[in-house]
Amino acid sequence: MKPLLRDIVPDDWPNLMTARGEPAYRGRQLAHWLFRQSEWSLETMTNLPASLRERLAEDWDPTGLEVVERKVAADGTRKFLFRLRDAQTVESVIIPMENHATFCISSQVGCAMACRFCATARGGLVRGLSPGEIVEQVQRLAADLVDNPFPQHGDRGFNVVFMGMGEPLDNYPAVRTALDIFTAPEGLGLSVRRVQLSTSAPPHGLVHLDALDLPVGLTISLGGSDDAARRKVMPVSGKASVTEALDAAERFARRSGRRVTVAWVLIDGSTDQLEQAENLARLTANRPFKVNLIPLNELDDDDLAATGSERILAFQRVLADAGVPAFIRVSGGRDIGAACGQLRRRRQGRVDEIAPPSS
Report the catalytic residues: 91, 340
Looking at beta carbons only, is 177 or 200 nearer to ligand SF4? 200
Tell me if 73 contacts ligand SF4 by CB under 6 A: no
How many residues belong to the site for ligand SF4 (CB under 6 A)? Answer: 12
**200 touches ligand SF4 (CB under 6 A):** yes
**66 strand-pairing partners:** 83
Q: Residue 113 interacts with ligand SF4 (CB under 6 A)? A: yes
- Rounded to whole angstroms, the Cα distance separating 250 from 255 reads 9
Task: Pick out residues in 128-187 that bind ligand SF4 (CB under 6 A).
Answer: 165-167
3-class secondary structure, 293: strand
Strand-pairing partners, residue 69, are 81
Are 294 and 331 spatial neighbours (Cβ–Cβ below 8 Å)?
A: yes
Identify the burial level of 245 via C-beta atoms within 10 angstroms of its C-beta, where 0-12 means exposed, 13-18 middle and 19 or more buried.
buried
290 in Cβ contact with 262 (< 8 Å)? yes
Minimum CB distance to ligand SF4, residue 254 (Å): 24
Residues in region 338-357 near ligand SF4 by CB under 6 A: 340
In angstroms, the CA 351 to CA 39 distance is 30
Contact pick of 9, 34, 45, 111 for ligand SF4 (by CB under 6 A):
111
Q: What sign has the CA pseudo-torsion 185, 187, 143, 104?
A: negative
Q: Which of residues 206-245 bind ligand SF4 (CB under 6 A)?
A: none
Nearer to ligand SF4, 91 or 136 (CB): 91
Please choose, out of 17-25, 35-43, 113-121, 325-333, the segment that lies near ligand SF4 by the rule CB under 6 A: 113-121
CB of 8 to ligand SF4, least distance (A): 27
Q: Measured from the CB atom, is 110 or 332 closer to ligand SF4? A: 110
State the Cα–Cα distance between residues 110 and 103, nearest whole angstrom.
Answer: 19
Q: Is there binding between residue 262 and ligand SF4 (CB under 6 A)? A: no
Coil, strand or helix at 116: coil
CA dist., res. 9 & res. 131, Å (int): 9
Instruction: Name the minimum Å distance from CB 303 to ligand SF4.
Output: 18
Closer residue to ligand SF4 in complex, CB, 161/281: 161
β-strand partners of 230? none
Binding residues (CB under 6 A) for ligand SF4: these are 111, 113-115, 118, 120-121, 165-167, 200, 340
